Amino acid sequence: MLYREAGQFKTNYVADQAIFPIRQDRIGIAVILLIAFVAIPYFGDDFLLQAVMIPFLIYALASIGLNLLTGYTGLLSLGTGAFMGVGAYACYKLTSVWPDVNIIVWIVCSGFFAAAVGVLFGLPSLRIKGFYLAIATLAAQFFLQWCFVRIPWLVNYNVSNAIEVPQRKFLDMIVTGPSATPIARYLIVLTIVVAMTWIASNIVHGRIGRMWMAIRDQDIAAELMGIRLLRTKLLAFAVSSFYCGVAGAMLVFLWYGGAEADTFNINQSFFVLFMVIIGGLGSLLGSYLGAALIFGLPILLRILPDALGMPMHSATIEHLSFLVVGALIIFFLIVEPHGLARMWQIAKQKLRVWPFPY
């Protein structure tokens, strides 16, 4: 009933190939954007913006980045955390050398540094696949983290070896540093994430995305069809690392407000990888769903006992949340290995024929 398509005729190819061919979807996405851009900043409190929405969006962007590489091109990477770190450190260096340039320009530009590093560590991907590539990217993770710890130049010789985010303005509005309001940060994060999702969606639906998917499905066949493997794979590494780099820069500048090298450790990589797997490989929507589940569930579990009037000790909740999240991951992998995005597809299919399924 919700998805009654009767009467929606497509009279040209453009309409037929649209990303959201059904009118209800277009309305839905408009409503979501309206909520995100208007309702949440208007009604949300600091906790919602600062501790829930901003991190969720940043992780969603990182998941999109990893999804482009792992989900669309089929190259498994365990270096996501390190690539995010490259973005963060690049942004910090850029803004300390040229403090007058708008910080948002630097946040986006830091992605190029991450992309360059990503390409470098993506070079082995022509020869090796699967587990072996995972090990190669793991090397990137360890090597880069070593650099973050050992090269004091990266943190401007800070005694604590940490990035301390300076105050920067955008249109006379403080957007980084402690005086920045959560609303300002949130709107910037949201704008960047929405814009980059739109670009990602165009990439994966276009020629490049098809090349990536061809390689993922059967790389020899792709090569025979004239797709140049090295270039395409490196392009995937570059675009993926670009996204991760921007996410990393936002994580430090618009969320944490400062970071130690340990922020970008192997756990960060796994965290994003879980989001991609749970959300659904090869789906942009899945990246959002995965980030919401993996990041949001522990927060919900932490708030839930109090909200239900069952005060529980904080450490008990923490153990409980480990248990529940772990169990859920296994549960999802068994029941729906294609992730939350596939579940949404099934649900949509059912809604289309409801209430008279055939």
Partner 1 sequence: MRLKGLMIGAVLGVVAGVPALAPAALAQDSIYVPLFSYRTGPFAGSGIPIANGMSDYLNMLNARDGGIGGVKLAVEECETGYDTKKGVECYESTKAKNPVITNPYSTGITLQLIPKAAVDKIPVLSMAYGLSASADGNNFPWVFNPPATYWDGLSIIMKYIAQKEGGFDKLKGKTIGYIFFDGGYGREPIPLLEQFAKKYGFTTKLYPVPAAEMQNQSAQWLNVRRDKPAWMIMWGWGAMNPTAVREAARTNFPMDKFIGIWWSGGEDDARPAGDGGKGYLTLNFHGVGSNYPALKDIEKHVLGKSQTEKEKFAENLYNRGVYNSVLIAEAIRNAQAITKKKVVTGEDVRKGLESLHITDARWKELGLPGFAAPIVNVSCADHNGHHAAYVQQWDGKKWVKTTDWITPMKEEVRPLLEAASKDYVEKNTGWPKRTEACTDNK
Give residues in contact with partner 1 (CB under 8 A).
40, 44-48, 50-53, 55, 96, 99, 149, 156, 158-162, 164, 166-167, 174, 177-179, 255-263, 265-266, 289, 292-293, 296-297, 299-300, 302-304, 306-307, 313-315, 317-319, 322, 332, 335-336, 340, 343-344, 346-347
> One-letter amino acid identity for 99?
P
Nearer to partner 1, 6 or 307 (CB): 307
109 or 175, CB closer to partner 1? Answer: 175
Least distance (Å) between residue 252 CB and partner 1? 10
Q: Output 12 or 314, the one with its CB closest to partner 1.
A: 314
Please state, in angstroms and rounded to a whole number, the distance separating the CA atoms of residues 357 and 277. Answer: 30
The residue among 142, 79, 88, 134 whose CA lies nearest residue 113 is 88
Does a cis peptide bond (omega within 30 degrees of 0) precede residue 355? Answer: yes
Q: How far is the CB of 226 from partner 1 (least distance, A)?
A: 40
Smallest distance from partner 1 to CB 200, Å: 21
Phi then psi dihedrals of residue 189, to 5 deg:
-60, -45
CA distance 257 to 255: 6
Rank residues 175 and 236 by Cβ distance to partner 1 and give the closer one: 175
Q: What number of CA atoms fall less than 13 Å from residue 45's CA on the CB side?
A: 1
Structure-token match 């994060």, residue found? 189
**Identity of the residue numbered 356:** F
CB nearer to partner 1: pick between 124 and 296: 296
Q: How far is the CB of 347 from partner 1 (least distance, A)?
A: 5
- Residue closer to partner 1, measured from CB, 134 or 317: 317
Under 8 Å between Cβ of 88 and 110: yes
Instruction: Compute the distance between CA of residue 72 and CA of residue 225 in angstroms, rounded to an integer.
Output: 18
In angstroms, what is the minimal distance from the CB of 248 to partner 1?
13
Partners of 163 in beta bridges: 259
Q: What is the DSSP letter of 347?
A: H
Question: In the complex, what is the shortest distance from the CB of residue 307 to partner 1, in angstroms, rounded to a whole number?
Answer: 5
The DSSP letter of residue 163 is E
CA distance 352 to 8: 13
- CB nearer partner 1, residue 129 or residue 352: 352
Residue 255 CB, nearest approach to partner 1 (Å): 8
- Give whichever of 164 and 223 is closer to partner 1, judged by the CB atom: 164
- Least separation in angstroms between residue 52's CB and partner 1 is 6
CB under 8 Å to 141, separation ≥6 — which residues?
78, 79, 81, 82, 266, 269
What are the C-alpha distances in Å from 294 to residues 63, 159, 278, 287, 331? Answer: 11, 34, 8, 11, 14
